[in-house]
Amino acid sequence: MEPLQKVRAAAVQMSPVLFSRDGTTEKVLQAIKDAAKQGAQLIVFPETLIPYYPYFSFVEPPVLMGRQHMKLYEEALTVPGVETQAIASCASEQGVVVVVGVNEKDNGSLYNSQLIFDAEGKLVLKRRKITPTYHERMVWGQGDGSGLKVVDTQVGRIGALACWEHYNPLARFALMAQHEQIHCSQFPGSMVGQIFADQIEVTIRHHALESGCFVVNATGWLSKEQIEQITSDEKLQKALQGGCNTAIIGPEGNHLCNPIIDGEGIAIADLDFSLITKRKRMMDSVGHYARADLLQLQINQESRNLLNYNFPNQI
């Protein structure tokens, strides 16, 4: 499909309704409507927003997190399911492309999944974070290369990665080489403090420059009351503050609107696709500036399957 030459994008900084899949889903649906009223054609939500990011795994030792882990299993989504259908219907009704992070339950495992719905309500990409980070490995399974894809939508070619996947340069290059025009990044927010927000800043601006694309980044946020719900330890509560940086970045690495670093809100900016050409005529890292004769990426985009029925017949 032919992309638009200008797109209005929205990045939503939002707190979940802790311990409630239904509650958080309702907040997402309302935010889609609110952003659409402001003319947004692309709306990006934070990492595993539905039902909520597993903050408990960052502040509790594994031996104590069983109850909270089980609760996350109870509230996690199946894809497709009732909640994804509600988001799809809302995207279609509002005529917008939606990118949202969810905890996906697939039989006995949980995954950090990113979902992209086009403006007709079709789920055009479901991908799973390829390597959960640090404490997250106690919660989520690993994704595979089948989701390292750029998809065509009504607002252009979109790619997505979650949080520290951006520190895997080959994962980023896989999307760059497919000529993504808009990169949708997601982080949990409300973690580690200002240094996390600073790291996000460096990460998203560098990717925009290197890939010559727009970056629409959404981070989550926790209120003081929510932090106290997660842990009563005042020292550990400090680890769940700051670290928010919801922003929209242009292909030249510049902010296109004021970032949101505290509280809930919607960052909105207009994306002029001529800026992609302006950047890439100088440095196209997967075109005239690439050296495929020297450096290439080999990628396995097959879905991981534990059963293989292709063995030859045995006599």
Q: Is 47 a residue of the active site?
A: yes
Structure-block tokens of residue 255? 């902010």
Phi, psi for 139 (deg, rounded to 5): -115, -45
Q: Is 126 a residue of the active site?
A: no
DSSP string, 122-142: -EEEEEE-SS--GGGGGT---
Alpha-carbon span 70 to 250, nearest angstrom: 41
From the list 27, 105, 126, 129, the catalytic residue is 129
Alpha-carbon span 143 to 158, nearest angstrom: 19
The number of angstroms, rounded, from the C-alpha of 245 to the middle of its chain's C-alpha atoms is 13
Burial class from Cβ neighbours inside 10 Å (0-12, 13-18, 19+) for residue 77 reads: buried
Structure-block tokens of residue 2? 């032919």
From the list 105, 149, 163, 213, the catalytic residue is 163
Structure-block tokens of residue 204? 């998203």
Alpha-carbon span 81 to 11, nearest angstrom: 24
Alpha-carbon span 144 to 29, nearest angstrom: 29
Q: Is 6 a residue of the active site?
A: no
Beta bridge partners of 151: 158
Alpha-carbon span 226 to 233, nearest angstrom: 13
From the list 27, 47, 75, 184, the catalytic residue is 47
Phi, psi for 94 (deg, rounded to 5): -90, -10
- Across the chain, the runs of DSSP E, i.e. the strands, are 6-13, 42-44, 97-106, 109-117, 123-128, 151-153, 156-162, 182-187, 214-219, 247-249, 265-272
Catalytic residues, by residue number, are 47, 129, 163
